Amino acid sequence: MNVVSMRKLYSRLQSLLFASASVIVFFILWELAASYLQSPYFPDPYSVLKAFITIITVGDIDGYTLAWHTLMSLERVLLGFAVGSATGVPIGLLLGIKPTLKNAVTPIIEPIRFIPPIAWIPLSIVLLIGMYRYVFLIWVGVFFPVLLDTIAGVKRTSITLIQMARTFGADNKNIITKIIFPSSLPEIMNGLRVGLGVGWMCIVAAEMIGGEPVGLGRLILKYANLLQIDTVIVGMITIGLVGLAMNYFILFLEKRMFRWRVEIRA
Amino acid sequence: MDKAILLESVSKKYDVGSSSLKVIEDLTFDVNKNEFVCVVGPSGCGKTTLLRIVAGLEPPSSGRVLVFGRPPDPKIQRFGVIFQEDSLLPWRTVLGNVEFGLEIQNYQEAERERVAKTFLELVGLQGFENYYPHQISGGMKKRVAIARALAIDPDLILMDEPFADLDAQTRSLMQRELLKIWSKLNKSVLFITHNVEEAVFLAQRVVVLTKRPSRVKQIIDIDLPYPRARLSPPFISYRERILTAFHEELEGI
């Protein structure tokens, strides 16, 4: 083993050490806060761990285990994410290519994107049923990041590359598929990653109105009504960890896909 | 025989707000088949606009442009254009970049790869097929761009100050290689530059443009055999002649 890789290993060990130290400190502070407050509504880490194990092995009051809750939520979010990407990317490409159209719809899009998903709940209750409610609320979270990053990606496309393609006789279809789309792909992927994260964060809002008794958001709401905060925290932690895992998964994909990017080389 | 390029009193003006900017005015010259012609002129004189007009990327405001007897159209004719700026697709490998033009021209996949490899070899880049543009030098990028332009078997090669960004050694190497390739392939070349020495080294004919709006100031035949020695007395005298014409224009600015 040479000096460079030794040094690399050392710095990796060091950052691992710091990371675990901060996790340990967090749990100690939590424990201290819990024993100081002595409140039934502020559980200590140990009771949350117990609730975790119960939900994983036995399931909740309706018998649904944590894996089942997670899977159902994932299914809903991925469905909303699929619809959000399938609308955000093409519309973003179109608006990026046609600035006049983009200017025309900006006064509509800009205010709408600041309306939080929760504000859409009453309308979706009145207008939608079943799976459509979930999908719509998650779509609200996914669509805008995807749309805006796709537009930004199109705008970043080099004019020289487009002209180069024209000199070879490329038509508009070629220019979109062979130049604009691949050139915007890093921004599009970034938008998809952010969109998936935001969509995942909409899961509690979506499951508030979904009606079905299963899903991580539902788990939180159910146990909030029972005032059993330890299980509520189990739901919160699971949402956080799954979101983190999805984010890293897309980052990993990005790294593999964009080896050609100078920025990613390092 | 059809001229490769025929420009007859070509003018180009752009509307800038209410006024209009004349970039090219009453420009007339031609390029014969298989001829190597350099256009030199002061910077900002509309050389790039001229190239864009010849490549059919934009129409002239008035006058006539014919490439092999017809108005230029890259969808019908084959142009090999080499830009000053880096024009490689950063997400494609060297091989993928050379295949790009062939893809647009609807070559079959197997044929694409075969042709692309042949031209990579011609520009001396065999073994670099799977590199990405960010992994190779500026001179190598230019070679890839040249291979890409040549691979579609263009009727006409248009070069817009292709070597301007390269260091002196690489530039003179690329000039020699370009001449080698040109003598091998017999193509008509319109090469735009602001470097007088480069023009004398490369061209059979040099067209000196005036400052904006561009007109032809002088056309000089370079009657020297290839390869040319940059320090030979006739080379220097051609260079001085063109520089004199060129400097008259610069001083006028």
Residue B253 has pLDDT above 60, yes or no: no
- What is the reported pLDDT for B127? 92
Q: How many domains does chain A have?
A: 2
Cis peptide preceding B71, ω within 30 of 0: no
Residue B143 has pLDDT above 70, yes or no: yes
Q: Do strands B188-193 and B36-40 pair parallel, antiparallel, or not at all (unpaired)? A: parallel
**How many Å lie between the alpha carbon of B57 and the closest alpha carbon of chain A?**
7
Average pLDDT, chain B: 91
- What is the reported pLDDT for A205? 85
Contact criterion met (CB below 8 Å) for A150 and A115? no
- What is the reported pLDDT for B214? 86
A77 and A33 in a common domain? no
- What is the reported pLDDT for A262? 63
Counted residue by residue, chain A has a size of 266
Average pLDDT, chain A: 91
ipTM, interface predicted TM-score of the complex: 0.89
A72 and A34 in a common domain? no
Say how many C-beta atoms besides its own lie within 10 A of residue A233's C-beta: 20
A152 and A76 in a common domain? yes
Place B45 in a pLDDT band, splitting at 50, 70 and 90: confident
Place A263 in a pLDDT band, splitting at 50, 70 and 90: low
A59 and A21 in a common domain? no
A9-66: pLDDT as tens digits = 888 899 999 999 999 999 999 999 999 988 888 999 999 999 999 999 998 888 899 9
Q: What is the CATH number of the domain that holds A82?
A: 1.10.3720.10
A110 and A10 in a common domain? no
A162 and A89 in a common domain? yes
A87 and A156 in a common domain? yes
Q: What is the mean pLDDT of residues B148-162?
A: 93
A149 and A120 in a common domain? yes
Nearest by CB to residue B79, choosing from A167, A171, A260, is A167
Determine what percent of chain B is predicted with pLDDT higher than 70: 99
Mutation target to probe the A interface, by most A beta carbons within 10 A, among B79, B83, B84, B91 is: B91
- What is the reported pLDDT for A265? 44
Domains and CATH numbers, chain B: 5-77+155-252 (3.40.50.300), 85-154 (no CATH)
Mutation target to probe the A interface, by most A beta carbons within 10 A, among B84, B87, B88 is: B87
Verify whether the Cβ–Cβ distance B55 to A168 is below 8 Å: no
Q: What is the mean pLDDT of residues A178-199?
A: 94
- DSSP-derived letter for residue A120 is G
Residue B1 has pLDDT above 60, yes or no: no
Helix then strand then coil, in percent of chain A rounded to 5, is: 80, 0, 20
Gap between the Cα atoms of A163 and A160, Å rounded: 5
The boundaries of the domain holding residue A156 are 45-265
A173 and A93 in a common domain? yes
Give yes or no for A171 touching B (CB within 8 A): yes
Contact criterion met (CB below 8 Å) for B80 and B152? yes
With CA atoms as reference, the chain B residue closest to A167 would be B74
A72-122: pLDDT as tens digits = 999 999 999 999 999 999 999 999 999 999 999 999 999 998 998 889 988
B58-96: pLDDT as tens digits = 999 999 999 999 999 998 999 999 998 899 999 999 999
- What is the reported pLDDT for A266? 37
Residue with tokens 């298989």, as numbered in its chain: B34
- What is the reported pLDDT for B42? 82
Element (H, E) at B208: strand B205-209
Gap between the Cα atoms of A174 and A186, Å rounded: 19
- What is the reported pLDDT for B252? 62
Residue B44 has pLDDT above 90, yes or no: no
Q: CA-CA distances (angstroms) from residue A80 to A139, A191, B195?
A: 5, 15, 59
With CA atoms as reference, the chain B residue closest to A164 would be B87
B202-226: pLDDT as tens digits = 999 999 998 888 889 899 999 999 8
A51 and A13 in a common domain? no
Residue A179 has pLDDT above 80, yes or no: yes
A50 and A182 in a common domain? yes
B110-125: pLDDT as tens digits = 999 999 999 999 888 9
A198-255: pLDDT as tens digits = 999 998 888 888 778 899 999 999 999 999 999 999 999 999 999 999 999 999 998 8
Gap between the Cα atoms of A242 and A259, Å rounded: 26
**How many Å lie between the alpha carbon of B95 and the closest alpha carbon of chain A?**
14
A83 and A30 in a common domain? no
CA torsion sign for B224, B229, B232, B238 is: positive
